[in-house]
């Protein structure tokens, strides 16, 4: 297939190669510099199998992933806050040949057995090393580009294998929907170990020949600064837009900065209509929503040239087939804004399957190749999709992260103070949903505190999977089969 990043080799069509490609804080690389450092690294990666990337929100992560893609080698982004159990699982499952990290980054012992390659971002040191053509243009469309770990209802996270064609397809479809060009300057503060921050937020601008300024971590001050200083687009999860909506009344500079933006895009979870309205009232701008999944990349979006309608995720992107189906799998043909069905999608934006999980991969698709998203929706008469819920109550979306209840329950059960555990999600104005743990203590006289259990889960799995609320119970409500009745807990 053709290069994923034409601007790296040919230069953006509408700008010279000294145009900035990536900026993280006060460190940046132009297209020419990124080409040099990424290709120098890529030369050292060719021939390897998968490589892990210690995916901090830093310049080195972006360089490492671009280098892997240039080398035609699949990258496995690791959450640097992953706990020992989660990290152990991902490493065993994905078996990377080596790990790429920024010089000086301290890596946990779980990675000690892997060869480490430091990522240099010094173009002066790179020039001499980068010689000869790179094989990336010979990589095939179906070759894996990324393996991204994503939680399910039960068990440990599964590695979604995302081929090169899915990345190219989804980014080009978004370019069409958003009139996204090399002239755009994107600002975001998303983590780089998930599709939203990495594929849309880093690879997206690079494929267009535009630039990205990463905030390191999200803050409304950072958004104000960058949008005032020439950035044109903002990507965020609803929690970020909620924080913007909360801050707007006290920060006229934020309102002014947002009102200058070309496009404000929210995704990864539903943005409440109240937050849409507060932002529009204060800035005159409408936030547009797009809907995607790790397994499918992007499926729908409100178009830049279409009507922005709060509470909807817009229309299917070019090349994406989308249908709603009844419980028995029969397609729903009505566009009546009422009939609820599961969203199924088909198209070149889809992943190829879960790594080492033929069972789960087969179960994810219908016999005729539609991917079952598990999201429930209705369609407006003009085709706009409105997501109304999720099939599985055991999936929680908190801060835009997908978190499986079963995974947290298993981790809680490994705590000596816990005899039984159930996990649910409950509404949270900031996070969308917060994780609630229902625990039968091993010793009712000294039940484990919320802090203890939060630290335990953060250490084992990841901080964003930690319970925010813990209820102590004498017993968990169970049905005749012994299954925990989560509805009887008041949630789920």
* Residues in touch with ligand AMP (CB under 6 A): 150, 195, 267-270, 289, 291-294, 313, 373, 375, 387, 390, 397, 402
Does 292 bind ligand MCA (CB under 6 A)? Our answer is yes
CB of 297 to ligand MCA, least distance (A): 7
CB of 242 to ligand MCA, least distance (A): 9
* Smaller CB separation from ligand AMP, 232 or 373: 373
Does 157 bind ligand MCA (CB under 6 A)? Our answer is no
φ, ψ of residue 395 in degrees (nearest 5): -110, 130
Positions 237 through 276 that interact with ligand MCA (CB under 6 A): 237, 239-240, 267-268
Strands 432-441 vs 469-472: parallel, antiparallel or unpaired: parallel
* Smaller CB separation from ligand MCA, 127 or 455: 455
Strands 144-150 vs 158-163: parallel, antiparallel or unpaired: antiparallel
Does 390 bind ligand MCA (CB under 6 A)? Our answer is no
CB of 485 to ligand MCA, least distance (A): 29
CB of 19 to ligand MCA, least distance (A): 27
* Smaller CB separation from ligand MCA, 461 or 489: 461
CB of 387 to ligand AMP, least distance (A): 4
**Which of ligand AMP, ligand MCA, none sits in contact with 399, Cβ below 5 to 8 A by type?**
ligand MCA
Does 460 bind ligand MCA (CB under 6 A)? Our answer is no
Does 455 bind ligand MCA (CB under 6 A)? Our answer is yes
Q: How many residues bind ligand MCA (CB under 6 A)?
A: 26
Contact region with ligand MCA (CB under 6 A), list: 37-45, 220-228, 255-263, 396-404: 396-404
How far apart (Å, rounded) are the C-alpha atoms in residues 163 and 357?
Answer: 16
* Smaller CB separation from ligand MCA, 123 or 463: 463
**Which of ligand MCA, ligand AMP, none sits in contact with 81, Cβ below 5 to 8 A by type?**
ligand MCA
**Which of ligand MCA, ligand AMP, none sits in contact with 319, Cβ below 5 to 8 A by type?**
none
Q: Using CB under 6 A, which of 138, 217, 260, 478 touches ligand MCA? A: 217
* Smaller CB separation from ligand AMP, 224 or 301: 301
- Whether 396 and 435 have beta carbons less than 8 Å apart is answered as yes
Positions 2 through 31 that interact with ligand MCA (CB under 6 A): none
**Which of ligand AMP, ligand MCA, none sits in contact with 241, Cβ below 5 to 8 A by type?**
none
CB of 271 to ligand AMP, least distance (A): 7
> Which residues have CB under 8 Å from 175's CB, separation 6+?
181, 207, 208
CB of 375 to ligand AMP, least distance (A): 5
Does 195 bind ligand MCA (CB under 6 A)? Our answer is yes
Interface with ligand MCA (CB under 6 A): 81, 190-191, 194-197, 217-218, 237, 239-240, 267-268, 292-294, 399-401, 454-455, 458, 463-464, 466
């Amino acid at each position: 297939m053709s290069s994923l990043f034409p601007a790296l080799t040919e230069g953006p069509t509408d700008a010279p190669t000294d145009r900035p490609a990536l900026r993280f804080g006060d460190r940046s690389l132009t297209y020419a510099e990124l080409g040099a450092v990424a290709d120098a690294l890529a030369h050292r990666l060719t021939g390897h199998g998968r490589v892990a990337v210690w995916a901090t929100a830093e310049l080195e992560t972006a360089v490492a992933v671009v280098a892997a893609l240039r080398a035609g080698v699949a990258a496995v982004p690791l959450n640097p806050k992953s706990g020992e159990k989660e990290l152990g699982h991902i490493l065993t499952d994905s078996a990377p040949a080596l790990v790429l990290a920024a010089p000086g980054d301290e890596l946990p012992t779980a990675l000690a057995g892997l060869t480490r390659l430091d990522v240099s971002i010094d173009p002066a040191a790179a020039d001499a090393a980068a010689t000869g053509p790179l094989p990336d243009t010979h990589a095939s469309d179906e070759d894996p580009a990324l393996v991204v770990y994503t939680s399910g209802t039960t068990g440990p996270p599964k590695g979604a294998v995302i081929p090169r064609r899915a990345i190219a397809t989804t980014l080009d479809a978004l370019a069409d929907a958003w009139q996204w060009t090399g002239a755009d300057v994107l600002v975001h503060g998303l983590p780089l170990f998930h599709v939203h921050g990495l594929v849309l937020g880093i690879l997206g601008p690079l494929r267009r020949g535009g630039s990205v300024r990463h905030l390191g971590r999200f803050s409304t001050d950072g958004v104000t600064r960058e949008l005032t200083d020439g950035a044109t687009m903002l990507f965020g999860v609803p929690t970020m837009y909620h924080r913007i909506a909360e801050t707007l009344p006290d920060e006229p500079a934020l309102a002014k900065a947002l009102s200058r933006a070309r496009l404000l895009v929210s995704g990864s979870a539903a943005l409440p209509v109240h937050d849409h309205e507060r932002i529009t009232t204060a800035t005159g701008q409408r936030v547009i929503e797009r809907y995607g999944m790790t397994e499918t990349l992007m499926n729908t979006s409100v178009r830049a040239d279409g009507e922005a309608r709060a509470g909807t995720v817009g229309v299917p992107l070019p090349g994406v087939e989308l249908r709603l189906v009844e419980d028995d799998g029969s397609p729903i043909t009505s566009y009546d804004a009422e009939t609820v069905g599961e969203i199924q999608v088909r198209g070149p934006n889809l992943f190829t399957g879960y790594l080492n999980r033929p069972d789960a991969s087969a179960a994810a698709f219908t016999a005729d190749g539609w991917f079952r998203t598990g999201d429930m929706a209705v369609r407006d008469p003009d085709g706009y999709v409105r997501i109304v819920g999720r099939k599985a109550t055991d999936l929680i979306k908190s801060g835009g992260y997908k978190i499986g209840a079963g995974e947290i329950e298993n981790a809680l059960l490994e705590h000596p103070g816990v005899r039984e555990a159930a996990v649910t999600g409950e509404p949270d104005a900031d996070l969308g949903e917060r994780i609630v743990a229902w625990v039968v203590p091993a010793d009712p006289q000294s039940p484990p505190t919320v802090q203890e259990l939060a630290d335990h889960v953060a250490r084992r799995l990841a901080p964003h999977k930690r319970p925010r609320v813990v209820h102590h119970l004498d017993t968990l409500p169970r049905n005749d089969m012994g299954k925990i009745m989560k509805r009887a807990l008041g949630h789920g």
